Amino acid sequence: MAAEAEETEELAWSRETIPRVMKIACARLPQRDLVSLLLVSPWLHRTLASYPSLWLVLDLREMTNAGNRLLGALSLPRYRQVKRIDLEFAQDIEDKHLESLENEYSESLKSLETLNLNGCQKISDKGIAAVTSCCPNLKVFSIYWNVRVTDIGIKHLVENCRHLVDLNLSGCKNITDKSLELVADSYNELQSLNLTRCVKLTDIGLRQILFKCSSLQSLNLYALSSLTDNAYNNISSLSHLKYLDLCGAQNLSDDALSCIAKCGKVVALNLTWCVRITDKGVIAVAEGCVSLEFLSLFGIVGVTDKCLEALSTTCSNTLTTLDVNGCIGIKRRSREDLLKLFPHLKCFKVHS
């Protein structure tokens, strides 16, 4: 009887406890490692595949034959509740694959919240129209470095996905102010927007965003040298803003920066190569953004030790990253000098 009881207990252990432990352990694994575990044994394959919570992410980053891999994965029952698909720099993903999703696997994308198409340069407006038609609950969309997508693709996006809070259009050189108008009219609750190197944008489009997307916490305007104070002045309306990248804002003046400094919650500010800025603008930042943790003044020759003294007065307890390389007007630029002013500094150089 004792032996029989022990055998029963071992059987219960193998049927109940081991699978539960496997679920907990596997939940911490990268998805690619999880997929590899499926090959260990039929029992492990059945066990892992039976837990939907393990298959909420589909990671095809940098993979070859990604289009066919995507279709193959979404044909499997375990991916029917997928919430995030990552195709960043994946190869061989084209419009035809996204159109197949629309035709064959649209039900599998109903719960999708995050879609990363960064570097997928064969995707055009047609592909955007197809895939977004399947994703009514999409919240995060990223399509960095795509020169085929135009305002037409953004029109499909805003029509199909009404709940976006994070949008990355970095490097989409063919979108215009029309796209920003569509985004501004559709996403009043947008929290993060990246417009890096979207070179066709003007003050008109950006002002639409600033007037209507008042919930923005992160705004990236890197390398948009054509923008002027007519737009920058209105950044002050973003009362929730925490991260602002103005690298290369060649037309940004001290007066406009003083307006931006009214965004008192800003913790990260990139002013690299904002060549018109002087102590006046940085002192305004020091007085307005007292929770600043990251500041780059790289390449600005018009600032001096005076602005560092102002920053030290208000931000010495918060600032952990400060780049003043190339600021020839600042004489006390050594690591030792900066640590005297900002004792919590950990990073002294943002740009190599």
Closest-CA residue to 234 (of 256, 202, 205): 256
What is the CATH topology of the domain spanning 55-178?
3.80.10
For CA atoms 263, 269, 274, 278, the dihedral sign is: positive
pLDDT tens-digit profile of 53-67? 889 999 999 999 999
Computed over every residue of the chain, the mean pLDDT equals: 93
Dist. CA 155–CA 186, nearest whole Å? 10
Which phi-psi region, left, alpha or beta, contains residue 189 (left: φ > 0; alpha: ψ -120 to 50)?
alpha
Dist. CA 254–CA 258, nearest whole Å? 6
Where in the chain is CATH 3.80.10.10?
Answer: 55-178, 228-351
Which one is predicted more confidently, 78 or 27? 78
**For the whole model, what pTM was predicted?**
0.92
Instruction: Give the model's confidence band at 352: pLDDT under 50 very low, under 70 low, under 90 confident, else very high.
Output: low
C-alpha distances out from residue 284 to 70, 228, 288, Å: 50, 19, 6
The separation between CA 75 and the C-alpha centre of its own chain, rounded to angstroms, equals: 28
Instruction: Give the model's confidence band at 74: pLDDT under 50 very low, under 70 low, under 90 confident, else very high.
Output: very high
pLDDT tens-digit profile of 27-59? 777 878 888 888 788 888 888 888 888 899 999
pLDDT tens-digit profile of 331-342? 877 899 999 999
Mean pLDDT of 205-219: 98
- Percentage of the chain with pLDDT > 90? 82
C-alpha distances out from residue 208 to 54, 91, 179, 188, Å: 41, 35, 10, 11
Superfamily of domain 228-351: Ribonuclease Inhibitor (3.80.10.10)
Count of CB atoms within 10 A of residue 268's CB?
17
Dist. CA 273–CA 150, nearest whole Å? 29
pLDDT tens-digit profile of 121-172? 999 999 999 999 999 999 999 999 999 999 999 999 999 999 999 999 999 9
SS (H, E, C) the chain: CHHHHHHHHHHHHHHHHHHHHHHHHHCCCCHHHHHHHCCCCHHHHHHHHCCHHHHCEEECCCCCCHHHHHHHHHCCHHHCCCCEEECCCCCCCCHHHHHHHHHHCHHHHCCCCEEECCCCCCCCHHHHHHHHCCCCCCCEEECCCCCCCCHHHHHHHHHHCCCCCEEECCCCCCCCHHHHHHHHHHCCCCCEEECCCCCCCCHHHHHHHHHHCCCCCEEECCCCCCCCHHHHHHHHHCCCCCEEECCCCCCCCHHHHHHHCCCCCCCEEECCCCCCCCHHHHHHHHHHCCCCCEEECCCCCCCCHHHHHHHHHHHCCCCCEEECCCCCCCCCCCHHHHHHHCCCCCECCCCC
How many Cα atoms within 13 Å fall on the side-chain side of residue 270?
18
Say what the pLDDT of residue 42 is: 84
Cβ–Cβ < 8 Å for 202, 177: yes
With tokens 């393990």, the residue in question is 54
Mean pLDDT of 107-126: 97
